[in-house]
Structure 1
């Protein structure tokens, strides 16, 4: 499905998704923005007009989408669409559950919005993190996987490594990594003991910000996840996209803050950036997301981008 979808499944998948978000008077602009970006830029079907497609009911969708792995990944996609809805709707949650029942498929992603609605954001985060945990190691920096660090202390060895990047020539990946943190006033991964458990994930994630040129704004975070998914076309990068949608579009927080009706994908510029991200990822020669970034720290950033055929940003939020 969202991984590598065959031409014959694009249209029924799109129609089934339209059926899954057709509640409470219809789909929302944010939901249609995400679905439209998937259809046009990831699946390369700009000829499919969402306004002129007939939605598929759960039973018809089950007849069209028959493989268990395709059904499961379809539910991941509509879980992302569900998190785009403003406000969170019981009818939306129930509608997607009808597709899960018709597909005879259960998945933790289906619990995220229901838990959020009934038990609050803190509990919903447990669901999204439980889903993501299955691919946690793929999102860690390769060279750092085997290293252990005391939970109550900064990772001095990692910080020494980052400090050595200051001696690299300007324009190298390592120097740009430091510039990224300085420019955004971010602590380097490994400095805060309370976040040490995720230090290898943050290192990998921030390297990908530098390589792709997306800044850490909500729109930039969603674009980075979309580009990573399009480049990787695998379950770990799809999990990353769903996680990004939950936090940066769904605004899943620790504090049960009210979610505004106008969110990231309410902005046409953010939607355009998302579409471009799918295009850029599709053009990559291989998956940069889980590369051994530290081994390329002394490469010029331009060489890293050329190695993965990462095309320049046409829109904003670019880095050097």
Structure 2
């Protein structure tokens, strides 16, 4: 999933449309929306417009400036994130996004998912979300590489704590014997340091989802809510599937819209995305992920890299440096609360 920079002529028009979506929120345009709009201006659009002076734009005019399909889809997805910035999208926001999408010729399944949420059609919402979300990616990966349907059932039962696989857990625990600077040892420290169960243990992630944890190690993001929003953006960036955006959508729903679609309890904190420079960090993470040369979710074999030094693994996989302005110490956002 690449990040596209709009041409100078399109940037202010797209910003006007984004502001319209923000104003259509139930409480109108609030500080969180302003942060998202200002971040987009500073990092993507290269504009310095007064948000309060932005006029409305009709769908036809918007379509004239966003005739590139990739750019049009990115704009619609930005509107979806905007609509979830402080809670579930309001009906007026969904109607507006749908109108823009129709004029732009963008068929974005995420619109239908959040529309079900707005209508409180929760079964439809959950089904529509998860058949495209990162959880579906983990299940598909488990199916392809861990024994088909039996492997999926086994992984889910381990995750639920019903059964355990001592041999599998032991294999992951042997990573502790590797040198400190290797990717494998760093993954062991990720599990051990956060108090997570190892794959194979009761409550451990299925092997098909381990690439998510490897991503934490490679990218350098912790497991706080802020870290999870960044790793979701990073993961969406390197994924090359049609529905990579749903990885970001999942994290935004959980960590800033206050809608828990994770398989375990999560804290509610509406508007989190507008705090500090988190929105900028997410864009930076998405860009870093998009520059990777390998899609970790596409049957990538971690064990071939387990003994490789972390710095070398990052280089081989094309992981760009985090950047001094975005480096954070462990626990800077508070204690880890889980993972998804």
TM-score range, shorter chain: 0.7 to 0.9
**1:129 counterpart residue number:** 130
How far, CA to CA, are the matches of 2:202 and 2:267 in structure 1?
A: 29
Counterpart in 2 of 1:40? 42
Counterpart residue number, 1:227: 234
Question: Over aligned residue pairs, what C-alpha RMSD do you find?
Answer: 3.8
Q: Could you state the TM-score of these two structures normalised by the residue count of structure 1?
A: 0.78
Which residue, out of 284, 296, 310, partners 1:301? 310
Is residue 85–residue 270 contact of structure 2 (8 Å, CA) maintained in 1? no
Deviation of the 1:159 alpha carbon: 2.3
Q: Deviations over 1:100-145 (max 9, x none)?
A: 343455433112333223226565332221232797269848xx84
Secondary structure of 2:133 counterpart: helix
Q: The residue matched to 1:119 in structure 2 has which SS?
A: coil
Structure 2 match to 1:159: 169
Whether 1:108 and 2:109 are equivalent positions in the alignment is: yes
**Equivalent position SS for 1:131:** coil
**Deviation at 1:168?**
1.1
- TM-score computed with the length of structure 2 as normaliser: 0.74
* The one of 166, 182, 190 aligned to 1:180: 190
Change (3 A) 1:5 1:287: farther
User: 1:120-269 counterparts in 2 under 5 A?
Assistant: 123-132=124-133, 136=137, 140=141, 145-148=144-147, 149=151, 151=154, 152=157, 153-156=163-166, 158-192=168-202, 199-230=206-237, 235-253=242-260, 262-269=270-277
Q: Partners in 1 of 2:259 and 2:250 — Cα distance?
A: 10
Summarize the Cα distance change of 1:286–1:160 in structure 2 as closer, same or farther, 3 Å threshold: same
After superposition, the C-alpha distances for 1:180-211 in whole angstroms (9 at most, x for unaligned) are 11221111234347x77xx2343000000011
1:268 alignment partner, SS class: coil
Inter-partner Cα distance in structure 1 for 2:105 and 2:315: 44
The C-alpha deviation readout for 1:224-244, integer Å capped at 9, x for no partner, is 222344556874543322222
Q: Which stretch of the first structure deviates more once superposed, 267-276 or 110-119?
A: 267-276
Where has structure 1 moved over 6 Å in runs of 4 or more? 257-261
Counterpart-to-counterpart distance in 2, 1:201 and 1:50: 46
Gaps of 5+ in 1: none
Alpha-carbon offset, residue 306 of structure 1: 3.5
Quick one: structure 1 residues 53 and 293, their matched pair in 2 at CA, closer, same or farther if it must change by over 3 Å? Answer: farther
Please state how far the C-alpha of 1:305 moved relative to its aligned partner. 2.8
Conserved? CA contact 2:256–2:270, under 8 Å: no
Q: Which residue is 2:160 aligned to?
A: none
2-side partners of 1:125 and 1:112: how far apart?
8
Cα pair distance change 1:170/1:2, threshold 3 Å: closer
The CA deviation string for residues 147-173 of structure 1, in whole angstroms up to 9 with x for no partner, is: 222534434554233122122111211
In structure 1, distance between residues paired with 2:118 and 2:243: 26
CA distance in 2, matches of 1:319, 1:145: 34
Q: CA deviation at 1:254?
A: 5.4
Asked whether the equivalents of residues 138 and 209 of structure 2 are also in contact (C-alpha less than 8 Å), the reply is: no
**Cα distance in structure 1, aligned partners of 2:101 and 2:77:** 11
